[in-house]
Chains A and B, each alone.
Chain A
Amino acid sequence: MADLRINFAGIKAPNPFWLASAPPTDKAYNVERAFAAGWGGVVWKTLGEDPPVVNVSSRYGGVAYNGQRLMGMNNIELITDRPLQVNLDEIKQVKRNWPDRAVVVSLMVPCDEESWKRILPLVEETGADGIELNFGCPHGMSERGMGSAVGQVPNYVEMVTRWCKHYSRMPVIVKLTPNITDILKPAQAARRGGADAVSLINTIQSIAGVDLDNMVPLPAVDGLGTHGGYCGPAVKPIALRMVGEIARNMPQLPISGIGGVSNWRDAAEFLALGAGSVQVCTAAMHYGFRIVDDMISGLSNWMDEKGYARIEDLTGRAVQKFVHWEDLNLAWKTIASINPQACIGCGLCHIACEDTAHQAIRLHEGGEKKFYEVIDEDCVGCNLCSHVCPVDDCITMQSQPTVEHLTWKHHPNNPMRVPAEAAP
């Protein structure tokens, strides 16, 4: 049985599945239920200074795809709208009730030293295991100079992180916004400021949709819409890239992976690309806390099957293989192969290839069964057909024997090529 316990930047938890700072972690009631369900930790919904913010009615926009709900979700909710002391009291009580779980407190106060100096000891007094600096919230708070307004300026990130390290003994996790050109810049700034870890991604600025009857962006509040933060399964690929980018450039920095984690498989992918823990929100909001049950058993079973004993054996396993495009082997070739027995004759591979790719799939002539076949010499191995085919394992990509190894760095078409003999 794989050991799922983690020690993430000094914060211990029985498993790497944490609930992200969000509505599910706003109150003791929810967090108690989450811990009872088996979650390894929570990042308490962001605390701010009193008086508390006021939230709007109508807070989420949902994005469905082909009848499947919540492929993506956006929200326009702000930080906690409850008085600071109420939250602090509840955090203290919950931590006392669940000493083995990670309780991290998300914070967002104005970008001045006094504000941070004031709140940090109050949080430390609760017995919380660490703090997460919310430099990511892309809506509402950013208009007030907080959240992503800080996260988008690396100097501010460094400065605030430094204050937190200075006025607190707690581990500091800096939560990064993806609404930025180069994710490395704020990550490096956080490191310079002394951050113990980073977490990412926060939500992506978005409009969930437009109500075409009333011509208003969604979600609508009394007839008006504003941009929100996008999350859910749709953002996972974006998050994976950013996590991987930090992992390969800053191998010593612990990363808590966030963004569309819905099941153990998603979690394993984040871990493989360098995360030491993962944070979940949308999936829990969609199905309830009980999803953690399968996350735990699924990850554990899979790790047993693959021979990974501990989470740290898994963390970063795929990072070395996350390279730059110029490191890819241009001499390698794969081509599609259609299994005629599995083919159901829908023609989606054909029309995709015919209209939008390389005209390399044709209808098989003759025979009773209608099926499609690949014209090997015209196939460039782009994979498009295998992605549009609705049948599992009907179209497989077959790698072709390759003797050569040739990257762009050495390719004759590259005017800037490095001569082969000069290559290290």
Chain B
Amino acid sequence: MSAIVNDVYFLSEPDVAAARLPLEKLAECFADAHPLLSADQAHIEASRCYFCYDAPCITACPTAIDIPGFIRALSTGNLAGAGQKIFESNILGGACARVCPTEILCEGACVRNAQQSKPVEIGALQRVATDAAMARAAASGKHPFQRAAATGRRVAVVGAGPAGLACAHELAKSGHEVDLFDAKPKPGGLNEYGIAAYKMADAFAAREVEFVLSIGGIKMIPNQALGRELDLGTLRRDYEAVFLGIGQAGVNALSIPGEELTGVMDAVRFIEILRQSKDKSDVKVGRHVVVIGGGNTAIDAAVQAKRLGAELVTLVYRRGREDMPATSVEQDWALVNGVAFRHWAAPVAIEGDGAARAVRFARTELVDGRLALGEDGFILRADMVLKAVGQSLDVFDADALPKIGRGRILVNPETLETSLPGVFAGGDCIVGQDLTVQAVADGKRAALGINAFLEGKANG
């Protein structure tokens, strides 16, 4: 490989380093990107809500939170009522307030869009209500819900991400005993490991898990992975029902030459390292970073790489901007943070001698509606390559598995029961929007399915 390729000058060795920025700058870059509204801001914003009847925002929310109801409660100073209304529909309302792509959900449906192209900031208001309610619960030691009388039934929930937590909470509320397993050392799933740090600042994910578990009746058992320490057959024997909220733990490969080079990394792994780092000063990042992919993971990786001090971060997506799975708000956020976008290009090789130095791209185009590689391309310098081209179900324990279709566990859409009686599933491991709020909705729906199943068992 020549020392000069196209217009890129290779003047030094591959440059991957930690602590590119001073500690205080890192702290600033990874602090809460959208801080809590002040009481005044919340009051003004709440007064913009029309308190619609049959409100479109409720319909747009997978967990059907009574949004006009909680905002009205906020505006009258009934903070306790506001929080309660949210948690009745969505016990992870605090996480959703932070990570929901509200622009395609509640805020996208707000009638204020039609009137003034500016929806009520529902997410920010939800955070005001849930933060206050969670703080009150933490201070008083009182969980907002009481459990029903003990049923003596035992349910296993596998995966302590949003789906598993929501399911476990609803089951505990119904009076069942829940064992909640997770493959990782900490519960929380993607909220703990997979979302940009500035969206979940101040150990929020851990605090929220603590809040959810404070209902009682849920035993958290970490470091237990299905197919590793757990097998489904044993779980089905030991518990009356099982919920699988195992997400998509597998990561798709690029399948191009050079993928094994040092400096090439899965974006989810990069984000996980960042999230688990205390002050981010030990997280290595390249001087030139190329992120491949167009979803929210790609955006989270690219922006965080930039905020760690990378000089140039380029996000390359094989189709156009409008085709990116990341929402326009996420895309704008990346652009504002100085991430460069390149569209209509796919990687064909990562080049380097032991360590990555550049990525070779071919231009892409649509031929008869199918994506095809064009003749020419370009080369981008890259000390670090972050792959974010999708995740997949980590297939385990093939014999005992419920039926899978198109890489997802198949379920009855009403009850979320799988092909195996008494085994339910929800969240990213089933078909649907891969969103925290959808996972919560699934977890709750599955819990209701489990309740019905257990009742059927008792009566049958």
Contacts and interface: CB of A to CB of B under 8 A. Distances in A.
A347 B115 contact: no
Indicate the member of B44, B47, B54, B75 with the most A CB atoms within 10 Å.
B54
B342 interface: no
B53 A348 contact: yes
B115 A344 contact: yes
Interface in B45-90: 46-47, 50-56, 75
Q: Closest 8 CB pairs between A and B?
A: A347-B53, A67-B47, A351-B53, A344-B111, A344-B114, A346-B52, A346-B111, A346-B50
Contacts of A145: none
A370 interface: yes
Contacts of B114: 344-345
Contact of B56 (A68, A345, A350): A345
A330 interface: no
Contacts of A351: 53-54
Interface string A63-78: 0001110000000000
A345 B75 contact: no
Given A346-B52, A347-B53, A348-B52, A390 B75 contact: no
B269 interface: no
Interface string B333-346: 00000000000000
Nearest to B45: A67
Given A345-B111, A345-B114, A390-B115, A66 B53 contact: no
Contacts of B43: 67
B54 A347 contact: yes
Contacts of A363: 54
B75 A66 contact: yes
B75 A347 contact: no
A346 B68 CA distance: 11
Contact of B52 (A68, A347, A391): A347
Interface in A182-230: none
6 contacts: A67-B75, A347-B54, A347-B55, A348-B51, A351-B54, A391-B115
A316 to B, nearest CB: 38
Contacts of A345: 52, 56, 111, 114
A391 B116 CA distance: 10
Contacts of B56: 345, 370
Indicate the member of B43, B47, B111 with the most A CB atoms within 10 Å.
B111
A27 to B, nearest CB: 33
Interface string B12-56: 000000000000000000000000000000011011001111111
Contacts of A390: 50, 115
Interface in B104-141: 111-112, 114-115
Interface of A: 66-68, 344-348, 350-351, 363, 370, 390-391
A348 B49 CA distance: 12
A350 B111 CA distance: 15
Given A344-B111, A390-B115, A67 B44 contact: yes
A83 to B, nearest CB: 42
Contacts of B47: 66-68
A292 B56 CA distance: 43
Nearest to A351: B53
A286 B277 CA distance: 52
Indicate the member of A66, A68, A344, A363 with the most B CB atoms within 10 Å.
A344
A390 B115 CA distance: 9
Contacts of B115: 344, 390-391
B169 to A, nearest CB: 32
Interface in B297-352: none
Interface in B142-164: none
A132 B412 CA distance: 82
Given A66-B47, A67-B43, A391-B115, A346 B75 contact: no
Nearest to B50: A346
Indicate the member of A66, A68, A347, A350 with the most B CB atoms within 10 Å.
A347
Contacts of B46: 67
Contacts of B111: 344-346
A205 to B, nearest CB: 27
A225 to B, nearest CB: 21
Contacts of A346: 50, 52-53, 55, 111
A78 to B, nearest CB: 33
Nearest to A343: B114
Contacts of B112: 344
Contacts of B50: 346, 348, 390
A68 B75 CA distance: 12
A36 B209 CA distance: 64
Contact of A350 (B44, B53, B75): B53
A364 to B, nearest CB: 13
Contacts of A68: 47
A24 B87 CA distance: 50
Nearest to A369: B114
Given A67-B43, A347-B55, A370-B56, 20 more contacts: A66-B75, A67-B75, A344-B111, A344-B115, A345-B52, A345-B111, A345-B114, A346-B52, A346-B111, A347-B52, A347-B53, A347-B54, A348-B51, A348-B52, A350-B53, A350-B54, A351-B54, A363-B54, A390-B115, A391-B115
Contacts of B51: 348
A108 B345 CA distance: 86
A344 B115 CA distance: 7
A365 to B, nearest CB: 13
A128 B51 CA distance: 54
A351 B52 CA distance: 9
B116 to A, nearest CB: 10
A350 to B, nearest CB: 6
A391 B111 CA distance: 11
A347 B111 CA distance: 10
Contacts of A370: 56
A363 B55 CA distance: 12
A400 to B, nearest CB: 27
Nearest to A394: B115
B48 to A, nearest CB: 9
Contacts of B52: 345-348
B367 to A, nearest CB: 33
Contacts of A350: 53-54
Nearest to B47: A67
B457 to A, nearest CB: 42
A390 B120 CA distance: 14
A347 to B, nearest CB: 3
A390 B53 CA distance: 13
Contacts of B55: 346-347
Indicate the member of B44, B53, B55, B115 with the most A CB atoms within 10 Å.
B53
A368 to B, nearest CB: 13
A347 B109 CA distance: 14
A81 to B, nearest CB: 34
Nearest to A392: B115
A182 B44 CA distance: 41
A66 B53 CA distance: 18
A185 to B, nearest CB: 42
Interface string B232-257: 00000000000000000000000000
